[in-house]
Chains A and B, each alone.
Chain A
Amino acid sequence: MNGAQIPLAEGLNALMAGLILISAFGMVATRQVQGVMRFFILQSAFLAISAFLIGYSRSSIHLWALGAITIAAKVIAIPWVLKRTLPGDLYERREIDQVLNIPASLLLALLLAIAAEFLVGPLVAASTDPVVRVNLPIGLAGILIGAYSLIARREALPQLVGILAMENGAFFAGIALAPDLPLIAELAVAIDVVLIAVVIGVLTRDIKRVIGTTQAAGMTELREGPQPWH
């Protein structure tokens, strides 16, 4: 298959897929809270553009709505809400603790992306839909890399962004898999995502107020005692 045969919208969608993956790597490679947030906003914007592209090429009003919801929720509302509810020093330019250093993390993220391709590659090979072939592996890679940054980061806000980045991955796959999902379901899902951000934001603020730190590593009061499996 040479380049001329690929319709423009689908080619651009593949470009967006690459950019989404790169912003996922960016989130893993950044050490500052603000930087992680910026990469997340970028990733959400790419997701919205991809939804518009596929929506245009398939003339699907659902995907246009999804793109608009993504911009409203993830590019505008969530960063704004978090900035308002959380105290400013959570956003200061400071370094995030993490379990592995940056190069090792990037290597692991790369491995996860390759693993995602191998996991679902055989499944999508049978599909005649070129968008599914791009979106499902990249979406799964986004989920896995988000999960990694969630586990490796020991700080509330980057953990929340990790969850939202996982959600972006799921949606990117969803654009291809379920383009005609009922609008009500899409709306409900979008509201759910905003609620997740609000609830975790409120929780983070309370933890900051009561415990004084938002480092998850410091929260070890609840445990069973000297047992190997905790």
Chain B
Amino acid sequence: MALIIAIFLPLIAALLCWLKPLRGIAWGITVFCLSLSFALAVVTCHQVLIKGRAIGLAGWFEVDGLGVLMVLLVGFVCTLAAVFAGGYMRHGSQGARRLWWFYCNYNLLVFALIVVPAFADPNLVWVGVELITLFAVLLVAFESTPSALEAAWKFSILTIMGAPISLLGFFVLYWAYRGSGGGTAETWQSLHAMAPAMSPKLLKLSFLLVFVGFGAKAGLVPMHTWLPDAHSQAPTPVCAVLSGVKTSVPLYVVLRLLSVILASPEARMGRWMVIIGLFSVGIAAFLLLQVRDYKRMFAYSTVEHMGIILTAAGFATHGSDYAAVAQMLNHSITKSLCFYAAGIVLLALGTRQIRDVHGLFRLSPFAGAALLLSALAIAGAPPFPIFLSEFSILLAGLRSGHNTAVAILAILIVVAFVAILLQVNSMVFGKPELHSTAEAIPLSCRVAVLVAALPVVVLGVFVPAPIHSLLQLAAQQLGGH
């Protein structure tokens, strides 16, 4: 029951924001409903930890370890981003008159994001992922500036183009499922059970089609070109959601399908996932070196992390699966912090160009500290959680004998590390330009940054037992041996 309410609260919030008398308090409604939804997700997580899965409505909304992990991440990131939006949208947005519309749309996006990992039926998952794309497109275009519209257009064409391709993939999957004699309704669970009997050729074809369609949405190279545009032009709270969870949710679907493939003895995809993942990491790492806009920098780092997760899933051992889901968790919490930091820098200084920002520490110590902390965390410096998960991915790769891939991955991670820190170094330290001053940072933005920084600092040195067992459960769903 908690799961159902957690899913539908954002939808109710969207409806309330749309009602005329309530439009003035749209922000309050959004924050209240989303934090309640997150609390209920935590309750659901508790049920999953006890029973292995939580069922909202049998055959419709069911979550296992992996599903509830995604629901939790979406709830956490979206709630904090909503808090952040309170101050940011009032000061930093040009479309301030239509704020209720922004929150309405934002809640719809959150609904779509939560519903995807909760759906039991893969065909409905397709619908959910398309809904995510559509609401995200509207939010990217929210500012209605020429560059925002250009970004939204590229985003929509590149990602919606994948929709029919992945739809065909799901049809083929259904056909293979029926062909194997699967009598009951198609769910992720029954797919797993029937996978050994399904035609490996059809499984591979369906995976390929879904991968092409959803890989574009997850920002994997070579379909990543929309990502830096969309993630730099959208209002910053939306960027946090887009980079933090909107890319990992389609990737979650791909990983789910990959685990179905793994359950079939003849279909093998791991090697290809490693190659495509490394390709994404490589392109992103070198683009990070020459990026000129700090929001775009964090967007490229998202491409890098999606590649790392895919590579880890491609190693397909239990250890690498654990590291992959840990990386997913760490990426979501850290990347959203990065965008909150970037957002307050943008609020304080009003420029997105890296070369126009100097001596941020002296201009605004809070913004400087937040940016430095988040950059260190996302680049993977110890003792932050990304360091731990990246290290365990490399270790798991070595254990499973992928020595070349691990070597390449390690080099690329170092390149990305150096690139991010060089860029941020030039912004944070040094002397500020003579006449530059910093605007005050709104309270709600400060609160969001502080709360978001908490897990980033803590999880690096101490992983609480419930989170550890949740990650274990989630890794089991990925089906590595």
Contacts and interface: CB of A to CB of B under 8 A. Distances in A.
Interface stretch (A73-81, A89-97, A187-195): A187-195
B411 to A, nearest CB: 19
Nearest to A120: B205
Interface in A137-152: 139-140, 143, 146-147, 150
Contacts of A132: 175
Nearest to B177: A178
Contacts of B144: 206, 210
Nearest to A227: B290
A123 B201 contact: yes
A224 B291 contact: yes
Interface string B214-235: 0000000000010011001100
B269 interface: no
Contacts of A211: 146, 149-150
B438 interface: no
A222 B165 contact: no
Interface in B131-170: 131, 134, 137-138, 141, 144-147, 149-154, 156-157, 160-161, 163-165, 167-168
Tell me if B's interface is mostly helix, strand, loop or mixed.
Answer: helix
Given A181-B123, A196-B130, A221-B150, A163 B292 contact: no
B1 interface: no
Given A167-B163, A177-B172, A221 B147 contact: yes
Nearest to A198: B134
B229 to A, nearest CB: 5
28 contacts: A123-B201, A139-B168, A143-B164, A146-B164, A147-B165, A167-B163, A174-B167, A178-B123, A178-B175, A181-B123, A182-B121, A184-B124, A188-B127, A189-B127, A192-B127, A199-B134, A199-B138, A203-B137, A210-B144, A211-B146, A211-B149, A221-B146, A222-B228, A222-B229, A222-B233, A224-B287, A227-B290, A229-B283
A123 B200 CA distance: 11
Q: Which of B130, B145, B168, B290 has the most chain A CB within a 10 Å cutoff?
A: B168
A72 interface: no
Interface in A167-191: 167, 169-171, 173-174, 177-178, 180-182, 184-185, 188-189
Interface string B415-438: 000000000000000000000000
Contact of A222 (B134, B150, B171, B201): B150
B204 to A, nearest CB: 10
B156 A169 contact: no
Given A196-B163, A225-B290, A143 B205 contact: no
A200 B152 CA distance: 10
A167 B171 contact: no
Contact of B121 (A185, A203, A224): A185
Q: Which of A163, A177, A188, A195 has the most chain B CB within a 10 Å cutoff?
A: A177
Contacts of B157: 150, 159, 163, 216
Contacts of A222: 147, 150-151, 154, 228-229, 232-233
Contacts of B127: 185, 188-189, 192
Interface residues of B, number: 50
A185 B164 contact: no
Q: When A and B form their complex, which 6 residue pairs have the shortest distance between CB atoms, in order from nearest?
A: A166-B164, A177-B175, A185-B123, A170-B164, A188-B127, A178-B174
B153 A170 contact: no
A200 B137 CA distance: 9
Contacts of A1: none
A167 B161 CA distance: 9
Given A173-B171, A189-B167, 17 more contacts: A123-B201, A147-B161, A159-B157, A167-B167, A170-B171, A174-B167, A178-B123, A178-B175, A199-B138, A203-B152, A210-B146, A211-B146, A211-B150, A216-B157, A221-B146, A222-B233, A225-B292
